[in-house]
């Protein structure tokens, strides 16, 4: 099993949760100087604590080389991972998780999933809900709050996707 610290060399993302995407983007631009946030919406099915559930979110991402600044606004479905983890009325941006890239072929993603299972940490999200070698983009959230105070997201993208904005850690 690879300890979580072994993977921090692949830290690629800082992620924040918001109650109001427009206000959060404005704050990021005016207060933090983060411009060029690419906005989107997603409705997907995730495996959340062992149950397949829908998840809808709004997002905004800014890439800085191989690193990302991400804002998520939970919309519906399996959003309690976001809404129970932070005080959404406390600030417009609320730290939620770090994202760690899993690089290499599909077998590296499989190894990561096995490492997480062996760690005893809970998967809060797994996408796709039924991972297969045909997948091109996968992520999971792991509840590491009891050890490091926040969630950890692992992200894997097939090396053939090099150059896409969602996976800036892949070399183009």
Q: pLDDT for 50-79, tens place per residue?
A: 899 999 999 999 998 889 999 999 999 999
pLDDT score of 2 more than 80:
no
pLDDT score of 48 more than 90:
yes
| CB neighbour burial string for 134-145, b if at least 16 within 10 angstroms, e if fewer | eeeebbbbbbbe
- The pLDDT value recorded for residue 1 is 57
pLDDT score of 6 more than 80:
no
Q: Please report, for residues 120, 123, 155, 167, the alpha-carbon distance to residue 63 in angstroms, rounded to integers and kept in the order given.
A: 32, 26, 15, 9
In the three-class reduction of DSSP (H, G, I as helix; E, B as strand; rest coil), residue 46 is classed as: strand
Give me the percent of the chain exceeding a pLDDT of 70: 97
Residue 136 DSSP one-character state: S
- The pLDDT value recorded for residue 3 is 63
Name the token pair of 26: 């404005």
Q: Return d(Cα 87, Cα 100) in angstroms, integer.
A: 24
Q: Return d(Cα 106, Cα 90) in angstroms, integer.
A: 39
Q: Return d(Cα 137, Cα 82) in angstroms, integer.
A: 21
Residue range 107-150, pLDDT digits in tens? 999 999 999 999 889 999 999 999 899 999 999 999 999 989 99
Q: Return d(Cα 164, Cα 6) in angstroms, integer.
A: 26
Q: Please report, for residues 12, 57, 98, 107, 119, the alpha-carbon distance to residue 114 in angstroms, rounded to integers and kept in the order given.
A: 21, 27, 20, 11, 9
- The pLDDT value recorded for residue 8 is 78
CB 73 within 8 A of CB 17: yes
**Residue-range domains of the chain with CATH:** 12-161 (3.10.180.10)
Q: Return d(Cα 55, Cα 42) in angstroms, integer.
A: 8
| pLDDT band per the 50, 70, 90 thresholds, residue 90 | confident
Helix then strand then coil, % of the chain, to nearest 5: 25, 40, 35
């Amino acid at each position: 099993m690879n300890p979580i610290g072994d993977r921090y060399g692949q830290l690629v993302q800082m992620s924040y949760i918001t109650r109001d995407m427009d206000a959060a983007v404005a704050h990021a631009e005016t207060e933090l100087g983060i411009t060029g946030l690419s906005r989107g919406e997603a409705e997907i099915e995730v495996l959340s604590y062992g149950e397949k559930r829908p998840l809808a979110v709004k997002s905004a991402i800014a890439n800085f080389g191989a690193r990302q600044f991400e804002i998520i606004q939970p919309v519906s479905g399996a959003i309690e991972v976001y809404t129970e983890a932070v005080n959404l009325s406390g600030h417009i941006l609320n730290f939620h998780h770090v994202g760690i890239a899993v690089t290499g072929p599909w077998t590296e993603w499989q190894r990561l999933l096995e490492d997480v299972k062996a760690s005893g940490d809970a998967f809060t999200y797994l996408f796709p809900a039924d991972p297969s070698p045909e997948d091109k983009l996968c992520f999971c959230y792991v509840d590491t709050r009891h050890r490091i105070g926040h969630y950890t997201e692992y992200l894997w993208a097939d090396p053939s996707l090099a150059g896409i904005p969602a996976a800036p850690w892949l070399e183009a």
